[in-house]
Amino acid sequence: MLIFKKIDILLLFQSFLLVVVFTGLIISAFFTPPFEKPDEKLHFLRAFSLSKGTIICATHDEKTINMIPKKVYQYVYQLPNDFTDAPQVNEIKSCVLPFLFYIFSGMGILFSNIINLNTISLFYVGRFFNVIASFLLILWSIKVLPRKLRFISLYTFALPMSIYMISSYSKDALHIVLGLFVFNYFLSFWLLPKIEKKHFIIFCLFLFLFILSRPQYVFFIGLLFALPTQNLPKISLFTKKQVKFVKVYIFITLGFFLFSSLWFLIDHKIYLSPDNKNTALVFADLINPELQIDHILRNPFLFFRSIFNSLSHFGVFYTKSLIGIFGSLDEPLPNFTYFVYIISGLFMPFFIAKNKKLQKISNRKLPMLIIFTVVVLTVISIFLAMFLYSSPVKSPLILGVQGRYFIALVPWVILFVSFVVRDIYHHLENRLPLV
């Protein structure tokens, strides 16, 4: 009996959950056929070109150049041997993808080339490197939280769609992991008596990379104003009386580097822009970002109505594709799986709300308001991006939105709802008469 008393049930369950998730990642990485995951052909080609040292695709006489070996291009698109006589193919569609988020998979491909693995083996090694790096980053970040509060991130990490994307070449892999890293560190800053400077620098760096991985999350920079001022590390530029300006200083500094980086990348034809349109869609000729922007400015109400129409029309699809739809969004999971994850997600805020360590942040209305505002603006931003680059002009529905784009918002929604639940508990306790 004494042995069982010493066992930490929470730690045991979390360890079991991590083992299950890691097993799922390995199975998904090695048993899912190549290019079965969303947009994996382009992501693989970008990782391959990075392994060859291509950080930004070169240009010559206003022509983009990104040379890929013939055998690799042939493997990706299943072309016959005689599709070209050239030893290399100029592949430019993947050039819109930022190199930073293919570093781990690119390292796997580089390692495979060094030891002369064939193209098929090389493909799976790249996936494996992504899995290992992502898993280690998650382990690193959850250590900063108390055991009970780790369940928010673990729930998000254990979503089938998270496992499916992290074990692929997609930049969503690093986006999800960076999002959880930022969330875990943000929450820990409210629980620690003092924020160490090195932890704060790591937080700012990962927040910066997280936003770059999907620029629609740019409003997450506002989280800086939700941090506890009294816990922030001292900056020599400010006196004790000027400590309230620390957040503004950090916001301006990080914002400058963030927007400078985005401007540089867009200027080099990375990310979609009005000069760099999405031509992969069948109705690409009906898409015009400039006309769409003009439509929104003239009729902002119609844009928000399109969001509402899309939520009501595609709501079930968004939910399912957030939890998990495999293949090219044509292999849904059994309905029982969706039921289990939805019930678990609804239960999570009630499980977290009674944690006394959350009292410090839940008693402050400003952080709660900022978190809510950041989530709402990010949702609008995601719909806006897809309205501009994936929907015909004046479309009543916003096309191209998938549930996986919202995975990084899941822990923040759970946290906010747990604040609301905690407030309800608190008010009920105050109203109940003493017996």
Query: What residue ranges do the domains of the chain occupy?
Result: 2-431
pLDDT at residue 226 tops 90: no
| pLDDT value of residue 181 | 96
pTM: 0.89
| pLDDT value of residue 1 | 45
Question: What SS3 state is found at 282?
Answer: coil
- Range with the largest mean pLDDT of 269-273, 299-303, 423-427: 299-303
Q: State the number of CA atoms in the 13 A half-sphere of 27 facing the CB.
A: 8
pLDDT level of residue 434 (50, 70, 90 thresholds): very low
Query: CB–CB of 66/94 below 8 Å?
Result: yes
Among candidate residues 222, 192, 134, the one with its CA nearest the CA of residue 357: 192
What CA–CA distance (Å, rounded) separates 226 from 368?
8
| pLDDT value of residue 277 | 57
pLDDT at residue 294 tops 80: yes
Q: What is the DSSP letter of 354?
A: T
Tell me how far CA of residue 347 lies from CA of 57, 142, 418, in angstroms: 47, 20, 10
| pLDDT value of residue 138 | 94
pLDDT level of residue 435 (50, 70, 90 thresholds): very low
| pLDDT value of residue 80 | 84
What are 128-163's pLDDT values in tens digits?
999 999 999 999 999 988 888 899 999 999 999 999
CB atoms within 10 A of CB 147: 13
What CA–CA distance (Å, rounded) separates 377 from 216?
9
| pLDDT value of residue 76 | 92
What CA–CA distance (Å, rounded) separates 117 from 110?
10
| pLDDT value of residue 7 | 58
428 or 342, which is more confident: 342
SS3 sequence of 253-283: HHHHHHHHHHHHHHHCCCCCECCECCCCCCC
What number is the average pLDDT over the span 101-106?
Answer: 92
What are 255-287's pLDDT values in tens digits?
776 777 666 666 556 655 554 555 555 566 778
Average pLDDT over the chain reads 85
What CA–CA distance (Å, rounded) separates 112 from 128?
11
Token pair for residue 45? 């080609």
Instruction: Map tokens 């898993």 to a residue.
Output: 135
* Residue 203 Cα to chain centre, angstroms: 15
What number is the average pLDDT over the span 399-417?
Answer: 94
CB atoms within 10 A of CB 226: 20
Percent with pLDDT over 90 in the chain: 49
What are 319-338's pLDDT values in tens digits?
999 999 998 788 999 999 99
Percent with pLDDT over 70 in the chain: 85
Query: CB–CB of 334/425 below 8 Å?
Result: no
- Mark 170-186 as b/e (b = at least 16 C-beta within 10 Å): bbbbbbbbbbbbbbbbb
| pLDDT value of residue 284 | 67
Query: CB–CB of 109/47 below 8 Å?
Result: yes
Q: Indicate the Cα dihedral angle 23, 25, 27, 29, nearest 10°.
A: -150
91 or 309, which is more confident: 309
| pLDDT value of residue 283 | 60
